[in-house]
C-alpha cells in the first residue's frame, strides 16, 4: 500500500445523520478560528486526540476523536451540556511528521446540536463506512471536489482496516481512494474509467 501516493484530504464525518452529500443546518454550524491546544494519547488501548478550539463564533469548544472508531465527541461542559457533534469537516494533512496525530487531523467546521433535536436517537452507531467519507482532496497541484460516492467498502487487513471509496468529482471523473486506519493515511490508488463501474448509483 505504501507505493500509492499520500494525498491531502478534507474528510466529512457524520455520527447521527447518514448523508450521501454533506448538508449544513443553519444555526448549528461552528467554524474553527484556531486550535488553542491539541494532543494525542492512548486511553484504554484506544488512540484518542483531544482538541481545544476557538470558534469564529466566539466560543471555546473541547472535542475528541476516537481514531479506532473515527467518532468525534464533544466534551459535555457548560455551555454545551446536552449537545453533541453530528457533522464535521476535518483537514487531514499529507505529511506524517507532525508532533502528534492531533496535529495531522484538524477540525475545520462542525455542527453542535442539542440531543433532543436529533432525528436519529438510537444508541447504535452508524456503520463504520457511513461515519467518514472524502470531501475534497489534492492530487498534485489540483484540488478535486468530490461530487458523490459511487462505491464504498471496508477491508480488514491483518491488524488494521482499509476504507475504500470510488468517488466522482465535479468534472465527472472517478477516483479510487483508500483510508488506512492504523496509519491515518489517505492514499490515491488510481483514476477509474467509468466503463468499469458496472453498477451505477442512482
Please give the average pLDDT of every successive group of 10 residues along the chain, which has 202 residues. Answer: 86 90 91 97 95 96 96 92 94 89 96 89 88 94 93 91 95 95 93 68 50
> Is 111 in contact with 50 (CB distance < 8 Å)?
no
| Model pLDDT, residue 78 | 87
| Model pLDDT, residue 200 | 53
| Model pLDDT, residue 39 | 97
> Is 104 in contact with 93 (CB distance < 8 Å)?
yes
Taking residue 120's Cβ as centre, other Cβ atoms within 10 Å add up to: 12
Amino acid at each position: 500500500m505504501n507505493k500509492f501516493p499520500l494525498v491531502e484530504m478534507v474528510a466529512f464525518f457524520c455520527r447521527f445523520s447518514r448523508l450521501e452529500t454533506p448538508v449544513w443546518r443553519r444555526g448549528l454550524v461552528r467554524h474553527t478560528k484556531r486550535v488553542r491546544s491539541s494532543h494525542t494519547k492512548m486511553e484504554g488501548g484506544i488512540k484518542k486526540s483531544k482538541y481545544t478550539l476557538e470558534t469564529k463564533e466566539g466560543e471555546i469548544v473541547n472535542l475528541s476523536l476516537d481514531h479506532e472508531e473515527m467518532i468525534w465527541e464533544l466534551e459535555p461542559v457548560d455551555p454545551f451540556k446536552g449537545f453533541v457533534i453530528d457533522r464535521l469537516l476535518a483537514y487531514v494533512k499529507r505529511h506524517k511528521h507532525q508532533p502528534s496525530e492531533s496535529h495531522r487531523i484538524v477540525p475545520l467546521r462542525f455542527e453542535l446540536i442539542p440531543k433532543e433535536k436529533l432525528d436519529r436517537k438510537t444508541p447504535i452507531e452508524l456503520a463504520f463506512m457511513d461515519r467518514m467519507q472524502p470531501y475534497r482532496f489534492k492530487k498534485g497541484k489540483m484540488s478535486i471536489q468530490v461530487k458523490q460516492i459511487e462505491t464504498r467498502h471496508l477491508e480488514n487487513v491483518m491488524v488494521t482496516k482499509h476504507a475504500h471509496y470510488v468517488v466522482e468529482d465535479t468534472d465527472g471523473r472517478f477516483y479510487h481512494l483508500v483510508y488506512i486506519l492504523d496509519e491515518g493515511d489517505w492514499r490515491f490508488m488510481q483514476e477509474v474509467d467509468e466503463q468499469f463501474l458496472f453498477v451505477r448509483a442512482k
